[in-house]
Structure 1
Amino acid sequence: MAARRTASDSSDRQLSLIERARRDQIIQITIDLVAEHGYAAASLTRIAQTAGITKGAVLYHFASKDAVVAAAHERVLGELVAAVGAAVDTVPAEQAPAAYVRRMVGHLTERPDHIRMIMGSVIIGDVSDASARWKPLASLLHDARQARGLPPGPDLRTLAVLTGGAIDGIIGAHMQDGDFDARDAAETLIAMLEGALFA
C-alpha cells in the first residue's frame, strides 16, 4: 500500500491533477454523507464505497476520518466566508453589516447541505477561539459607525454575538419549517441591528 499522506505532505509538494481531483471527490462525498446521514454514519468505509475506491485510498489522502471531515468542514466554511466577503466588498462600509446578514442567511438557505455539514462536524471542531466568529462582524460594525461619523457607541462585541445567534435562529427555523421566510427574517434582523448600531 502507498504511504499515507498528511496535511504537511500536501503543502510540501504539489499534488498531481489526479490527486487533487480525488481529494476533491472525497471531500464532496464527505460533505454529502455528513449532510444526509450525520457525522457518525460517515465512516471511512462508507466514504470509500461511495467514491468507488478502497478505504486505503481514502487513507492515502487523509490520515483519519476526522481529517477528512475537517477538510470538508473547512471547504464549507471557506465557501461561506468567500460568499459573504464578496457581498460585503461590493457595498459601502455603512451598508456592510446588512450585506453580511443578507448573504450569510442567503448562502446558508441556498445550501442546506452546508448547514448540515457545519452542524454535523461541530463535534470535531476546535472551538478554542470563539472570537473568530464574532470579531469579523464586530469590525464591520465598527467601520459602519465610523463611516457615518458616529462616536463609539454600543458594545460591538455584544451586537456581533447577538447577530450571530439571531442568524443561527433564522437558519434553524428555516431548516425546521420550509415555509419560514428566512429572507424576510434577515431583513427584520437588519432593521433591529441598524437601529441599535446607528442610534
Structure 2
Amino acid sequence: MAEAGSEGTGRVDGRRLRYRHRREELLQAATDHVLAHGMAQLSLRRVAESAGVSHAALLHHFGTREALVAEIVERVLDRAFTSPELLAGRPEGGPLRALWRHATSGRGEQYVRLFLAITGGALHDEALAGAVGRSVRQRTGLLQAGLVEEGCPPGEAAAVATLVLGTMRGLVQDRFVTGDTARTDAAFEVFVRGVELRVASWRAQRG
C-alpha cells in the first residue's frame, strides 16, 4: 500500500510540474483581463475565453472564482509595491522615490490603479477584504523590517511603516483622481524629505 501511494504521489507531482507553467500563464492572463476590464467584470468563463482555454481547465487550476480573485489580488499588490529599480539595487533618490516613479508611470501605474479599485471593492466584499488585508500586512511587515535596519526603534517601526504606506496610497490616489501631478508630486517630495530627516535622526542616535 505504501508503495502504491508513493507511485500515486509521484504521478500527481509529475502532472503538477508539467502544468505549473500553464497555471502561471492562466494567472497572468486573468490578471491582464482584470487590468483591462476591472474586477466587476471578472468571471471564470470570461477569463477562460480571454485566455483561450476551457472553463473546466480554469476550474482545474483555481477551483473557484474566490480562489482566483485571491491570487490576482496578491499579484496586483505585489506588482504595485515592487519597483524594478529596487530589485536591481540602490535606486536613484532612494527607495521611496523609486516606488513613486514606478507607481505613477507605465505598467506600474496600471497595477496601482487596479490596487486602488480592489481596495475600494474590499469595503463591501469579504473575499477581497481578506486578500487585501493579508497582503497589506505582509508588505507593512517587510517595510517595518527595513525601517528597523535603518535605525528605527522597533517599537515605532510598525506605526511608521503604516504611515508611509498609507501616505503614499493616499497621495497616489489623489494624483490619479484629480490629475494634479504637480501638486501631488510636490506633496510626496515634502513627505519623503520628512522621512529622510527622521532616518538621519535615528542613525545619529545609533551613533
Give yes or no for TM over 0.5. Answer: yes
Q: Which moved more, 1:102-111 or 1:42-51?
A: 102-111
Q: CA deviation at 1:117?
A: 3.6
Equivalent residues in 2 for 1:42-61 (5 A)?
42-61=42-61
**What amino acid maps onto 1:194 in structure 2?**
E
2:197 matched residue in structure 1:
195
2:177 matched residue in structure 1:
176
Q: Verify the 8 A CA contact 2:140 2:158 in the aligned structure 1.
A: yes
Q: Which moved more, 1:183-192 or 1:168-177?
A: 183-192
The reply to whether residue 136 of structure 1 matches residue 138 of structure 2 is no
2:4 matched residue in structure 1:
none
Q: CA deviation at 1:27?
A: 1.7
Kindly report the root-mean-square deviation, in angstroms, between the aligned alpha carbons of the 2 structures.
3.4
Corresponding pairs, count:
178
TM-score, normalization by structure 1: 0.69
Q: Verify the 8 A CA contact 1:34 1:120 in the aligned structure 2.
A: no
Deviations 1:18-51 (A, max 9, x none): x345323322232233233332311111111112
Partner secondary structure for residue 33 of structure 1: helix
Equivalent residues in 2 for 1:1-199 (5 A)?
12-13=13-14, 14-16=16-18, 19-80=19-80, 83=83, 87=86, 90-91=89-90, 99-110=94-105, 111-122=108-119, 123=122, 124=128, 125=131, 127=133, 131-145=137-151, 152=153, 155-181=156-182, 184-199=186-201
Q: Which structure has the higher relative contact order (CA within 8 Å, separation 6+)?
A: 1
The structure where helix makes up a greater share of residues is 2
Q: CA deviation at 1:165?
A: 0.8
Q: Verify the 8 A CA contact 2:73 2:132 in the aligned structure 1.
A: no
Which 5+ residue runs of structure 2 have no aligned equivalent?
1-11, 123-127, 202-207
Q: Verify the 8 A CA contact 2:77 2:135 in the aligned structure 1.
A: no
- Which of 1 and 2 has greater Rg? 2
Q: Partners in 2 of 1:185 and 1:108 — Cα distance? A: 15
Q: Partners in 1 of 2:194 and 2:79 — Cα distance? A: 27
Percent identical across equivalent pairs?
Answer: 25
1:6 matched residue in structure 2:
none
